[in-house]
Amino acid sequence: MLGGISIWQLLIVLGIIILIFGTKKLRNVGTDLGGAVKGFKKAINEEEKDGDKKEADQPQAKVSHEEAGNTYDVQAEEKRAAEERPTERNEERK
């Protein structure tokens, strides 16, 4: 059966355990163990639900092809400024 252990041997071991610990203590251990397993399962299920909610709440990345009306070209602005500077200096000399 279970690696060569028969039902009668299991019953004898169970009887010895009951005599040593008593039924009340075994009941408490069983209740505590069951509560721990139940709490663990509940926490796992809540975590999975929270993970699903977080994924559902967060929108997917969207690609927008809309261009802003005002673009700023730094190089063109610097070039324009450089061109204006010599004319200002020439005007000052006159």
Question: 81 or 28: whose pLDDT is higher?
Answer: 28
Q: What does DSSP assign to residue 72?
A: -
Q: What is the mean pLDDT of residues 84-90?
A: 62
Q: What is the mean pLDDT of residues 14-33?
A: 90
- Asked if pLDDT for residue 39 goes beyond 60, the answer is yes
**CB neighbours of 69 closer than 8 A, spacing ≥ 6?**
none
- C-alpha to C-alpha distances, 7 to 4, 16, 18, nearest whole angstrom: 10, 14, 16
Model pTM score: 0.39
Token duo for residue 51: 């993970």
Q: What percent of the chain has pLDDT over 90?
A: 26
